[in-house]
Structures are given as structure tokens and as C-alpha cells.
Structure 1
Amino acid sequence: MIGKIRTGLALFWMVAASLVLVPLQVISMKTGLWPETVILKIWHRAMLWALGMRVHVVGEMVKTRPLMIASNHISWTDIMAMGSRFDVTFIAKSELNGWPIFGFLSRLQRTVFIERERKRKSGDQASEIARRLAAGNAMVLFAEGSTGDGNMLLPFKSTLFGAASMAIAEGAAEHVVIQPVSIAYTRIHGIPLGRQHRPLASWIGDMDLVPHVGQLLAEGGLDVEIRFGEPIDFSARSSRKEATRLMEERVRDMMQQSLGQPLPVR
């Protein structure tokens, strides 16, 4: 009963907040009266409040541009956690663009959609990401190419770093800073999550979205930890495979730090 009441109240808050904030975001995108990320941050924070999710940050996002952020990926809530704190733009799989609600919301924050299975379009998509990088957008790349279970890191895909190479090759930038970021769901209601319960937050593969949203709304009380690592400078002489290896290694180390010694509840 408590879970149903909580879910109902949370859904009411999410809808009410969206009815107010979405039109303001549309106005922002069409007129430029204020930075687009202002409303986005408020919306993400409103959604996290409804979910009962708290975000903890270790380290800082570098101020140098062009900047690509290489992160692991666990759930759709990763976007809200990052978007609630930082001025970033996301790179997402093309399927998201067709989803009834999430696709529309993703377009409101100018997400770049990529079709990994269609090589003919990969050049155009990398070029769009390169253009955004050159324009000063901090682009978040979920480098695993899929979502993990919250316990282990999947191998990073070097092909996804092609946009950094293209930005340099096209003369849009002399170099691109790539910064590793780890995301870890560490506690529920203040109690550290163990290996068995960490998948509660994860949204993997063909898992239905609506039941997962309902489960998180009913549970509430999750803590997510975002860690920023040491960036690398990627230039025309850099090896894409080596950059991928370094990012994967650093993200794995930071993720294990968060899972092994989560920050205390404040």
C-alpha cells in the first residue's frame, strides 16, 4: 500500500513538473532567451526528487573544451543524475528517438542519436558530434555501447571515439580532452547495496521500461555516485585504441572505488 501511494504521488509530481517545465524548455530552444540547460537541470532535479534519488559527486568536470566525457552506463536514470548537475549533451542510441515520451524529452536536450548498425550513417553522426564538440558542448559518451548490471564494466568500444578523431581531422579542433566518469548506484535507504541488489537500479537490454520505472518509484531512496577522473589530451597523433583502453581502465577503477567504499549518507 505504501509503495502504491508513493508511486501515485511521485507520478503526479513528475507530470505536474513536466507540464510547467517542458513548455519553458521549448521556448528556450526557439528563442535563446536563457541557456537551454537551465530548465533541463531543474527538470532533471524534479524527476530525481520524485524518484527519491540522491546524487553524490567526487571530483570535477574539467573546464577545457572541446570535451568528451567517457562514462559507463547502467540505467536511464544516469542521464538525470548527470543532467541535474552539469551542462552536458548526451549521445544515445537511435532507438531512443522513437520512444513516445523519452524520445521527445531527449530531443528537448538536443541529444545526438547514433545508429550503430548502419555504417552508412556513422560518418554523418560522427560529424555532428564533432561539430558539437567544436561548438563547446561537453558530450557524454556511454562508451560501453550498452547498459551494464551495476556490478561490472562492459568493454569500451573504440569506434565510438571516432568523433574526437573527426573533430581534429576536419580542423574543428587541434585536440579534444577526454575525461573518464564512473556512475555507480551505491545505497538504498542509506544501506549499501550488495552485488545481489545492485541490478535493482540497472535497466538492461530488452527489459520493459514501464515496470522498471514503477519499481524505482515504489522503492525510492537510491544513492548514485558520480566520479570524475583524470582526463587525457587526444590529438591527431593519439591512438584511439589506447585512449579507449585508458578510459576503460580509469572508469573501472573509479567504479570499484564507489562500490567498495561508497560515500557516507549526509
Structure 2
Amino acid sequence: MTATHRALGSAGRGALRLAVYLGWTLLLIPVQALAVWLKLPLRHRLPRFYHAACARIIGLDVRVRGRRVEQGPVLFISNHSSYLDITVLGSVIPGSFVAKSEVAGWPFFGLLAKLQRTVFVERRARSEVHRQRDDIGARLDAGDNLILFPEGTSSDGNRTLPFKTALFAVAARRIGDRPLTVQPVSVTATRLDGIPMGIAFRPFYAWYGDMDLAPHLWQVVKLGGMTVEVEFHPPVTIEDFPSRKALADHCQRAVAQGVAHAVSGRHPDPLPGDAVPADQGAH
């Protein structure tokens, strides 16, 4: 690590953030567990409140473009570059995640995933596709929003991997008298303490390949504030496309374009609160 990178990290800041994060999490675990057990409406609202606070605690400034579909259920389709995506998306979307089955067995984080009523899927077992589709469909029928990462793995954050189409089969489901709403979402880490991250700094957010979780998390909490841009793209339904592959390809293109614009810093639509140059403000 270079001297510049060392300057970005503070062990004292990291220790404080971890202590506050753990205290906050341990405080809410029994509340959410009780809400899930009793099937209280709070079980839907509390995770978003929890994640929004966690984002502030660990220094994530989540900035939103576009408009989230509020009338559910909605299947949100997002790129995936880090475990931090859970906190980022969880802070702006009231819903549950679709995650690989291994997550259920992770210490601590597996418990948090279960408390958010995550749908666990075995991505490599073709024989399980129909059952998993039915499990996801049942949650959507119940009115729950779900967040799916169809890349199948996390990337380096600078690009979007091809989307796997298997779980898009659930998009053919009808909710009452209408087709299921599908909304693509782009998530991109763009700035570190106000400085554009670029390829060099983006691995401070992205967690992929053979990176170890604990050292990466420790580096994250030591750093200054990171800006993460979330862009909600126009919603679609399966009826807009000739096949689920065409739907998957459309979602991949929309998400990839959002990531590319955010990475380049030349997005055609400014974030709320951003200054608009005078020559663009007059119409």
C-alpha cells in the first residue's frame, strides 16, 4: 500500500465505526427477530431504516438518480460488486434480497440475511431452478419486493458482467391482472472523500475474486467517506420483450450504461443537488 493509501485510512476511525455498527446491529437484531416471528409489518420497514443508519455509520453517502417504483411487488435487477451493495440498496429499497445459498452459513452476516428474509438459491444446481423460481414467485405473490443480482458473482465495479437468465423466468409471473414489474438498478462507487475513485481506488469498495472479507471490511471502515450512486432505470415487464433472455439483455444494457456513466463522471442527468452549468439551465 502506498503512502497515499495509508493516509486515507485511520485505525481510530475504523475502530469507532465498527463499535457503533456492532452496537447498532446487536440492538436491532432482537427487534427484527420478534417482528419476523410475529409477522408484524415492522419486519418490512425496519431493514431499510437499519441499512440507512449503517450507511451513515460506515461512511457511505448514497446518492440516488431516477425514481424507484413504489407500487409493489417489484423485482429489482442490479449489478453487484461488493457486500456493501446490500447496505446501499437496502437503504433505498424496502425489500429482501435473492442470494446464493452459501450466504446463509456465513457467521453473523448469514443471520442478518435471514432476518431480512433473504431468498437463498443454489445457483449451480439446475435441478433446483423450478423450486427456486417457485420460492421467489411465492414471495412476490405475497407483495414483497425482491432484489436480484443476476451476474452470479461480484465484479470489480468498473464494468457489468453478463446477466444469467435462469431466474428471470419468474418475470413471467402475473401479479393479479398485471405482469410483474421489473426495474433495473445501477450501483457505482464514484468518490472517496470527494475525489473521483477511478480504477485505482474502486477496489476499496468492490469485493471480488479471492479477496478476504475481514481485511477488506477493516479497510472500508478506516477510510473517509465514499459516495455511491444508485440509478433507478425505467421499469419494464416481460410483455415488452419476446423472451426472458431479451428481458435479461435489456436489463444488463441499462445497468451497464448507468455504471459506465457513473464511472466516467459524465452522466447526462445530474444528481439531485448538483449544480447545473448555466448553459444547460436555460431552455
Equivalent in 256, 260, 263 of residue 264 of structure 2: 260
TM-fit CA distance, 1:49: 2.1
**Post-superposition, which runs of at least 4 consecutive aligned residues in structure 1 deviate over 6 A?**
none
Larger Cα Rg: Structure 1 or Structure 2?
2
Partner of 1:202 in structure 2? 206
Matches within 5 A, 1:38-187: 38-165=45-172, 167-168=173-174, 174-187=178-191
TM-fit CA distance, 1:236: 10
Under a length normalisation based on structure 2, what TM-score does the superposition of the two structures give?
0.86
Q: SS state of the match for residue 195, structure 1?
A: helix
Deviation per residue, 1:104-155 (Å, 9 max, x gap): 0000000001101112222111101011112211111111111110101101
Deviates more, 1:32-41 or 1:122-131: 32-41
Deviation per residue, 1:140-194 (Å, 9 max, x gap): 11111111101011011111212223x34xx876511111100000000011111
**Structure 1: runs of 5+ lacking an equivalent:** none
Asked if 1:221 corresponds to 2:225, the answer is yes
Decide whether aligned partners of structure 1 residues 33 and 232 sit closer, same or farther in structure 2, where only a CA change above 3 A counts.
Answer: closer
Does the Cα contact within 8 Å between 2:65 and 2:272 map onto a contact in 1? no
Q: SS state of the match for residue 92, structure 1?
A: strand
TM-fit CA distance, 1:238: 4.0
Partner of 2:243 in structure 1? 239
Does the Cα contact within 8 Å between 1:190 and 1:265 map onto a contact in 2? no
Equivalent in 249, 255, 261 of residue 253 of structure 2: 249
The percent of aligned pairs where both chains have the same amino acid is 37
Q: Distance in 2 between matches of 1:236 and 1:216?
A: 40
**Structure 2: runs of 5+ lacking an equivalent:** 1-6, 275-283
Equivalent in 27, 30, 41 of residue 20 of structure 1: 27
Under a length normalisation based on structure 1, what TM-score does the superposition of the two structures give?
0.92
Q: Distance in 1 between matches of 2:136 and 2:73?
A: 11
Q: Distance in 1 between matches of 2:224 and 2:153?
A: 24
Decide whether aligned partners of structure 1 residues 143 and 193 sit closer, same or farther in structure 2, where only a CA change above 3 A counts.
Answer: same
